Amino acid sequence: MATAALTKDTFEETILGNETVLIDFWAEWCGPCRMFGPIYEQVSEEYPGVVFAKVDTEDQPELAATFNIRSIPTLMIFRDQIGIFSQPGALPDQALRSVVDQVLALDMDEVRRSIADEHGHDDAASHDHADDHDHDPLPI
């Protein structure tokens, strides 16, 4: 599957209309972005059920600002409309494949339970246990 360019007008429909969406925030002038681009494109061909999208931060500054993108390239991943991964820096092809495989292997019901528990735990912690923040990170 080829990569798709995202804009502020197509972003929401892309996230809502697809189970798994990877987003590469990049810019033409960025050397690491130019190195990562072909890797991202190549790996996209290996996962036909996953949307590999790109946001040109120069063309779409509102999207970059919305997601607080401070360094490019930055890879974000949404699964079932939940942002589950965000990391700046160019990944080698094997690392990108590993991240995609981990995302696809996630039990999203467990992720939703973890989010709900964390939100409930945060509320209780802020009232009863201000120093008790034992949050398990997501399995990525």
Chain centroid offset of residue 137 CA: 15
Q: Is 33 a catalytic residue?
A: yes
- CA 59, 96, 83: angle at the middle one, nearest 5? 60
Q: Is 30 a catalytic residue?
A: yes
Alpha-carbon gap, residue 44 to 54, rounded angstroms: 11
* Catalytic hit among 30, 51, 69, 77: 30
Alpha-carbon gap, residue 92 to 61, rounded angstroms: 26
- Cis before 61? omega within 30: no
> Residue 94 is encoded by which pair of tokens?
């094997």
* Catalytic hit among 33, 53, 77, 99: 33
HSE (CB half, 13 Å, CA atoms) of 6?
A: 24
Q: Which residues are catalytic?
A: 30, 33
